Amino acid sequence: MNARQLLALEGDGIGPEIMAATLSVLDALRPVLSRKIEITRAQIGFAALREHGSTIPDAVIEAAKAADGVILGPVSHNEYPPKDEGGLNPSGVLRRQLDLYANIRPARLWEGLAAPAQTAMDLVVVRENLEGFYADRNMHMGGGEFMPVPGVALAIRRITEEACLRIARKGFELAAARPEKRVAAIHKANVMRLSDGLFLDVVRSVAAEYPQIAYEEILVDAAAAHLVRNPARFDVLITTNMFGDILSDLASELAGGLGLAGSLNVGPHHVAAQAQHGSAPDIAGKDMANPVSLILSLEMMLRHFGEVTAADRIIAALSICLATAATRTKDLGGELGCTAFTTQMISHIEGTTT
């Protein structure tokens, strides 16, 4: 069997540090992988801009298309120069080029680690990734925002039946494999009757194919309130792009913070594991970064590939390391830097693989 090919893109800020940690964890898991994994590296972000004149050169895009999966570090896209000067958002480009239509973001509590959520919490936000209000999702329409006259700005929201069908099916597939088997469609159809009305019509049609899944529909503002009050109410949330972007961040913060939140972008033929947080340039190079988000994103990718044993080993090792302050990073009330935390994780992984 041929080796599985992964492309590692470090990104900006703390990206090189958390990528090194993540690849070290992957290396420790090699004894339990059912298929060999080979890693190729390439530059994106400011490093690529300096050397190639673009934050994501064409060669990187082609390498991503040729790979089985991409591991994507955080980028500083808000600080990039204009697009015509090479300042593209690498994650946005990869979403479009690889047709990564689903962004899957779990949020769960970790035993022994304090979090704002006051009740049990183990949910997944399944977010449509290629449409909605965001301008970069509507490039083929000339952009999602425009100003016809000074002082007036308009935004276009693109919702299609095909995109709604894909994200609904992905959400119900995930729910069918989870113990609770519940789906909530999050919408604002009381105001955006056409666009969210189309979304709900499609989700309902898919729900009819899964009679074993409990299904409900909740307005996005009510969903935000319920997440704060009782996140245990939710299992799988299916929603459009902007709502999913906001609610997944809320859920992750309730579960302990973006530093503990994995994220997987999924398409028909490609997958990209991506840190859910930003590039944190203020702590870059200081060995202060928390690598858990990218490591959890790797765990999601491995599980997607069917490497269940390896994925379970990551969760087991993280559960041990996060349970006590002595083995946590400083942002979580511990004393460890990125390197020491990774060493602790690997020691637990290797202890179970020998």
Residues annotated catalytic, as ranges? 134, 188, 221, 245, 249
CA distance 74 to 91: 9
State the CB neighbour count (10 A cutoff) for residue 41: 13
